[in-house]
A and B are shown apart, each in its own frame.
Chain A
Amino acid sequence: MLENIRLAFRGIASHKMRSFLTMLGIIIGIASIMSIVSTIKGTNDALRDKLVGSGNNTVKVSLSSGGQELSIYDASSVPQNVQPIADETRQKIADLKTVKQVTLYNKRFVTDSSVFYGDNSVSQFNMYGVDDVYFDTVGYRLKTGRAFLESDYTLFRKVMILDQVASQKLFPDTDPLGKTVEFMGQPFTVIGVMYEPDDYEPDIQTVEDYYNNQDNSNGLFFIPKADWPIVFNYDEPENVIVKATSTDDMTTAGGAAAKILNQTITSTSDDTPKYQAEDLLGIVKSQQKLTAAANMQLIWIAGISLLVGAIGVMNIMLVSVTERTAEIGLKKAIGARQSAILGQFLTEAAVLTTMGGLIGVGVGVLLSYLINRFSGIPVAISIPWSAGAVLISMLIGVISGLLPAQKAARMDPINALRRE
């Protein structure tokens, strides 16, 4: 085998120009497939990162009715037939195999009240009542100050964390840490300012996203969930965010969590909201399918050039077998079995096309970067596709080399030697 590979390289080296031209069909075919695939993958990866957020893998499971996330904005909009989530239910979700972390939170879009500090105030904003793993699960970071501690919950401390927008509005010139603001007639001490790392910035893909984002434009306010009943007088239904163990598990994790949560809702009346997991991955997949389908046709066209390349290889191998009649005859005369000759020529064809495949992948990668550089289309090199392309090239060599190799193997040594 090794000897065959050595011979193949020697054969290719002794006909450099011819070998290169033979490989060209394979090179062009593989290179175009690789750049198409890179473009598909690049577009898909970009889509997925934008919608899903790379590496975060969190899924919102929120109360919804009629397919829309339920918005609580005042006392009258609080659904009466859904209870806060029991500890036991939370544990059930946390125990799911696809779930890494669970956080529970209350959320209200506050329309009938404001947060005050001195002369400054903010109204029309989202207030969150969160547990102590919320920031960690969602991926928020603290810019200054501290996070909520367990004692904040047990002692019902009135503490608050703001985002940078809210901080700017309430404390344009001063350090917010340690200051006391007023909300719903209660004093809250600001203990920290948070920010969202770039990865988690909201992406505006739909009208709904737009409104959600709009909602956040006046700033985000967080207080410990324990304070919620103090401020709003009632226990309110909670929402859930689960962090899936992997991006591919997001849909499953969200669905399973929603199912567990819905089992706790006993009311059967039509206006009872249900928990629904947002299916970002599903949206991404359907969009990815669209781009892939459009580009798949291009792959078929590139496949035709591979076929032409394969025929070229077969043709050259046939010529090569005829040219090397004497060599084949001699080898058979000195005792080479048919299988040895077959192996030699198959190896030669496979080495030729594998080299073509390798060069093709290289050219494809280069082409992908050029496409990205000049048209801005995102590209991503797929390692499995690259490996597959090389493997397929090898296979093409074996298949198109079969006929010529058989011709060589069956050659009559006498005629072969006599022809010299």
Chain B
Amino acid sequence: MILKLEHINKAYHTGKLDVPVLHDVSLHVEKGEYVAIMGPSGSGKSTLMNIIGCLDRPDSGTYELNGEDVLGKDDNALAKIRLMNLGFVFQNFQLLARETALENVALPLVYAKVPKKERRERAREALEKVGLGDRVAFTPGQLSGGQKQRVAIARAMVNRPGILLADEPTGALDSHSSLQIMELFQQLNEEGVTVIMITHSPDIAAYARRVCDIFDGVISERNGQVNAAQQAERKAEAEAEEALARMRQRSAERLRHGSLTKEEPS
């Protein structure tokens, strides 16, 4: 299992007010999955994404990434995980305006201490892969929204992370550009990249093989599919209920035999 979040709770503390955002969220994702997370604005999608992306820490719960506990790690260790294992795509692209497409894409390689020549080569390759081989020297101001987002995808994937996290990647794009982005995601997923994508749009969510809904900070699986965490939880609940029922039955029997006050070893 590549991602294993269990019983995650998160509240924001603004002044005296506590704003609870995530309630007991559990999410298991297998390697190579393509998950869409849907929900209305303010339901906690980005908050969850930030936790998955090791940018933020929950108030309680556990989180394992590639079988390793994440929450116990310090900031530098988390930076390294983000650098090597996670790729980020944002709604507003988050490209550096003064840098060329190539330099933007090469940025994670700078932090990974890749030598300059190799940086350029790999950044160029990544841009070619998203169909922007002829735009390497363009600055974001010279690119359309869809092109900008493709540069952002190239940047997210240049360090070859196993997981791509996208927070409303098509939120600022027209339908044609959105389609191109979805094709890219599809392709990456087919190559084995685990994709987790937040979206508003059911059309976009339809590209994912699995959809989770989040509403007021509570997550649920769609399409009758039950995710592993919920499965486990339901099983536990069912077992607990069963056990309770058995206990009731036994108590009732004991009452009948008048032995409630005189505990006998059974």
Contact = CB atoms under 8 A, between A and B. Distances in A.
B79 interface: yes
A263 interface: no
Interface in A11-30: 11, 14
A335 B96 contact: no
A337 B74 CA distance: 11
Interface stretch (A86-94, A128-136, A324-332, A388-396): A324-332
Given A337-B76, A337-B79, A413-B55, A331 B88 contact: no
Contacts of A10: 98-99
A173 interface: no
Contact of B111 (A11, A336, A413): A336
Interface residues of B, number: 27
Interface in B53-82: 53, 55-56, 75-76, 79-80, 82
Of listed A2, A14, A330, A331, residue having the most chain B CB within 10 A: A330
A11 B75 CA distance: 27
A409 to B, nearest CB: 10
A326 B94 contact: yes
A337 B94 contact: no
Interface string B147-173: 000000001100100000000000000
A396 to B, nearest CB: 26
Contacts of B107: 331, 334
A335 B82 CA distance: 5
A3 B76 contact: no
Given A333-B55, A417-B90, A417-B94, A338 B76 contact: yes
B116 to A, nearest CB: 8
A330 B84 CA distance: 15
A414 interface: yes
Given A334-B88, A340-B111, A414 B76 contact: no
B108 interface: yes
A335 B94 contact: no
Contacts, number: 56
Nearest to A3: B110
B96 A334 contact: no
B96 A327 contact: yes
Given A14-B98, A335-B79, A420-B94, A414 B56 contact: yes
Interface string A217-230: 00000000000000
Contacts of A330: 94, 96
Given A327-B96, A417-B90, A334 B83 contact: yes
Nearest to A331: B107
Given A335-B83, A336-B79, A337-B79, A414 B98 contact: no
Contacts of A2: 116
Contacts of B55: 333, 413-414, 417
A340 B109 CA distance: 13
Of listed B76, B99, B107, B112, residue having the most chain A CB within 10 A: B107
A404 B80 CA distance: 24
A6 to B, nearest CB: 9
Contacts of A336: 79, 83, 111
B48 to A, nearest CB: 12
Contacts of B92: 420
B90 A337 contact: no
Interface in A309-344: 326-327, 330-338, 340
A332 B79 contact: yes
Nearest to B156: A334
Contacts of B230: none
Interface in B110-137: 110-112, 116
A335 B155 CA distance: 12
A331 B90 CA distance: 13
B182 to A, nearest CB: 22
A156 to B, nearest CB: 82
Nearest to B78: A335
A334 B155 contact: yes
Contacts of B98: 10-11, 14
A14 B141 CA distance: 15
A14 B53 CA distance: 32
Nearest to A4: B110
Of listed A3, A14, A326, residue having the most chain B CB within 10 A: A3
Contact of A333 (B80, B82, B84, B116): B82
Contacts of A11: 98
Contacts of B79: 332, 335-338
Contacts of B50: 414
Contacts of B90: 417
Contacts of B82: 333-335
Contact of A335 (B56, B80, B99, B116): B80
Contact of B53 (A3, A333, A337, A340): A333
Nearest to A2: B116
22 contacts: A2-B116, A3-B110, A14-B98, A327-B96, A330-B94, A331-B107, A332-B79, A333-B53, A333-B55, A333-B82, A333-B94, A334-B82, A334-B111, A335-B80, A335-B82, A336-B79, A337-B80, A337-B111, A338-B75, A414-B50, A414-B55, A414-B56
Given A2-B116, A335-B84, A338-B79, 14 more contacts: A327-B96, A330-B96, A331-B107, A333-B88, A334-B107, A335-B112, A336-B83, A337-B76, A337-B80, A338-B75, A340-B111, A414-B55, A414-B56, A420-B94
* Across the A-B interface, the 8 shortest Cβ-Cβ residue pairs: A335-B83, A335-B82, A330-B94, A337-B79, A336-B111, A334-B108, A335-B111, A337-B76
